[in-house]
Every structure is written in structure tokens, then in C-alpha cells.
Structure 1
Amino acid sequence: MSLTKRQFLSGFAAACTAGGLVRADASARAYSPAALAYFAGDQEDYGHAYRLTNWKKIKPRWRRQLVQYFSTEPPGSAVIDTGNHFLYLVFENRTALRYGVGVGQDGYRWYGRARIDHKTLWPRWDPPPGLRQRHPELPVSMAPGPDNPLGPRTLYLYRDGVDLGYRLHGTPEPWTIGANVSYGCIRMFPEDIIDLYLRCPLGTRVLVLKHLGAPVIDEAATAHTEPPG
């Protein structure tokens, strides 16, 4: 099924959410002991803090690593394989830097081409009206911080000058990397989105590979995972 820009923007306006985990008073959110095991202390960054990932809890498959990778996309492009939960930053000589990612849940995955036309350090999160109608417990706005669902960095995906509503962003829930968890956005470990932010200038090309059942956006490329315990 192909979606026009108008259908896409109206039907997928809630692309970036925390899957309902965020509460109005996010600072009071309690984690189970099993979830806390995924954190390894806090890191200060531009006046804010994010939780460091406890890499001992993360499968090697999802850790950032240099891999052999062939793509027809030019070096510097980002290729997202939603079926296998990887983002590849294409290098020369058939290599790429591979990141583990969390992707859209069933019914919200998409594919096509886009471009990074906007980047933000420590974004605020403003749940769209449609999402707040479905989840009235969500705040009107959330300030940057360790519980903000967008994490320490956000890269905004555009097509033909139009904001698609999809983002590449960090997550305060490291256990969701490698799962189908969002409303279409691509989530990454905080350390990885910071790394990607530095490597991707404005204008970076993004290709989301076709995944069975994913809609085409403008003819171009889950049930929420609860905290462990």
C-alpha cells in the first residue's frame, strides 16, 4: 500500500513515542531491579544527564561495531534494516559502522528514502495531540533529561523538505534495542545516538530497507517491550 504525504502525516503523526511507559511525572518513575541492571551510572552532557548503558547486559549483536557491508548507497549514507534491527553507516571499501536499533512495532514500520535535515541536542518531547488522546496520562511536554524518550540527541527525517514525523533518537530503555517497540521511529542506545549525531551532517541520506508489510511513503524505503523484571 502506498501512502501520500497527507495520509502519512495525518495517520502517523505519533511516530515517536515511548510506547506508553512515560508518565506525567517522569522523574518519579520507578525501575525494577532487573531494569536498573541495564544502567551503569550517569553521564553529564551539555548540562543534562543520561544513563550510561551497562554493556555487560547487552548482547554483542547489538553493540556498535565495524562490519563488512556492501551497499549501492554512497559512503556517508545511513541504511536501516528494520527486519534485522540494524542501522548501517556506510563507509568505503565495503565496510560500515553497524548499530543495533529498536524499530516500529507491527503496523508502524515503513520504508523509503529520507534525509537528515534537522538535528537537536537534548530535545524536548511534545507528544502530538492524537497520541495524548489515546494516552491522556502523558505530559503535555517533557523537558530534556534521563527519562525523556528522545534521549540526548535527535535526528529528524525529511523528504522533499517535508518533516516525515520520524526520528532517529536515543532511548532511556536499553532493553528495547533489537525489538519492535515504537510507532515508527528508530531508537538507539544513548551512546550510539551521540556517536551517530557527530558522524551525520545535515543532508545525510537515509534509506530504510523494505520490510514485508511496511507501507511505502511517497513512492520511495509492537506491542511495547516492558522493562525486565
Structure 2
Amino acid sequence: MALNRRAFVAAALGSCAALAAPGLLTGRASASSYFNGVTQDNGFRYRQTNFEKIDPVWRRQMVKYFSSEPPGSIVVDTNNHFLYVVWENNTALRYGVGVGREGFKWYGRARVDRKALWPRWVPPPEMLKRQPDLPRLVEGGAANNPLGPRAMYLYRDGVDTGYRLHGTLEPWSIGQDVSSGCIRMFPEDIIDLYQRAPKGTRVLVLEHLGTSAG
């Protein structure tokens, strides 16, 4: 399954904009309820997710999972908003994720060829044309950096696809079609995944649900 033409076009347009999930929140008070204090990580601070506010289905958990991918692989089910790390014996560690909105979805195989702690974010020119008010560069650890505490960069045949697995500033967006193509995760979950998935990890993003999960 290859990354299709629309996938690379979407990548060229920039895939990691911080986009609010419309209709999910009614104001600042609603947003603040999704956080529970702050914590330190590698010299930076981030707002902890209030998981009591999160539907249990999106919380990290071990599940039964049947896949032809080898153990250690990452499989993203964009239909159901889950990311799986495949384990042995038909099991997997499952994370809830936010995925690309309509027109920015992508599918296919890739590989984690770069990883970054507290990555900086540079919107590409095409994105700045659509959203000229965006900053030109956001340093890692900044409160408005949409990548959060970690980013894992997806490559195909040695070429950066433009897509990332990364954190989010909007925990309410997990389980939604909200991004410009990147796979967003709770900050706590991208930190966990970053530790589990070394460079070279295989990634498969499913166009249609091709495996069964529990």
C-alpha cells in the first residue's frame, strides 16, 4: 500500500497545524477542564491531561489485536482513531489518536527515520499562505508549539513524507478528524510511544480497517 498522490500533496501543504476541533468546546473554562496541572520533562513543562475527562476508549491500553505486521510495528487505524504497537500473541498496545480531516487524510507505509525531543515547529510556506497569522517558527517547549513534547518523523524510501506522530495541545481532539494529516496523541502517550519505538520502526496507516481489534 503506497502513499498516494493526494498524500504527498497534503504533505507539501504542511501536516502539523494546530487546528481546533470545531464544536467540541464552548469556551476557555471547558478547555481548562481537560488539563490537570503541569509536569516537568527534560527541562520543559507541559500541561498534564485530565484523563478523568477522557472517554476510556481513548486511553492507552492492552487489547487483543490480529495483524500480519511483525511485532514492534506501528499500525494506525484512521477510521477508528487508534494507533497500535503490535506485540506477540495477537495483542497490541493501543492509543487513541487524532487524524487528518477530510482532504488531508493519507494512507500507506512509512518508517520512523527521525525522532526529536521537544521539537521546534516551522510551518511550511503553503500553510502560511492559508494561515498568514501563524508564527514563522515555534521553539521546542513553547506553550504554543503544536508538536508537544515529542515528534516522530515518517519517511518513505528515505524521503520525508511531511507527516509526523506527535503530541497535541488539544486533548479533546483525540478521536477526531482534525489535523492536516499528522497523527496526534496525548502528550503522555507520545512520550510513551517515543520510548517504545526506535528509529527504523515500520509504520502502516490503514485506508480501510483491514485487521480486527478488541
For 1:19, the aligned partner's letter is L
Runs of 4+ in 1 over 3 A off after TM superposition: 1-4, 7-11
For 1:15, the aligned partner's letter is S
- Separation (CA, whole Å) in 2 of partners of 1:135 and 1:210: 28
Which stretch of the first structure deviates more once superposed, 61-70 or 7-16? 7-16
Q: Does 1:187 align with 2:184?
A: yes
Q: Does 1:15 align with 2:15?
A: yes
**CA offset at residue 20 of structure 1?**
6.9
Deviations 1:52-85 (A, max 9, x none): 0001100000000000001000000000000000
- Pair 1:2–1:120, CA change in 2 (3 A): closer
Q: TM-score, normalization: structure 2?
A: 0.89
Counterpart residue number, 1:44: 40
Counterpart residue number, 2:24: none
**CA offset at residue 11 of structure 1?**
4.5
Is 1:66–1:95's contact at 8 Å kept on the other side of the alignment? yes
Structure 2 gap ranges (5+): 22-26, 210-214
Counterpart residue number, 2:201: 204
Counterpart residue number, 1:91: 87
1:141 to 128, 137, 141: 137
Matches within 5 A, 1:156-171: 156-171=153-168
Is 1:123–1:150's contact at 8 Å kept on the other side of the alignment? yes
**CA offset at residue 147 of structure 1?**
2.6
- Pair 1:175–1:131, CA change in 2 (3 A): same
Counterpart residue number, 1:74: 70
Deviations 1:162-189 (A, max 9, x none): 0000000000100000000001100000
- Separation (CA, whole Å) in 1 of partners of 2:3 and 2:200: 25
Matches within 5 A, 1:96-135: 96-135=92-131
- Separation (CA, whole Å) in 2 of partners of 1:2 and 1:203: 18
- Pair 1:11–1:82, CA change in 2 (3 A): closer
- Separation (CA, whole Å) in 1 of partners of 2:10 and 2:182: 14
Structure 1 gap ranges (5+): 22-30, 213-229
Cα RMSD over matched residues?
Answer: 1.8
1:63 to 47, 59, 62: 59
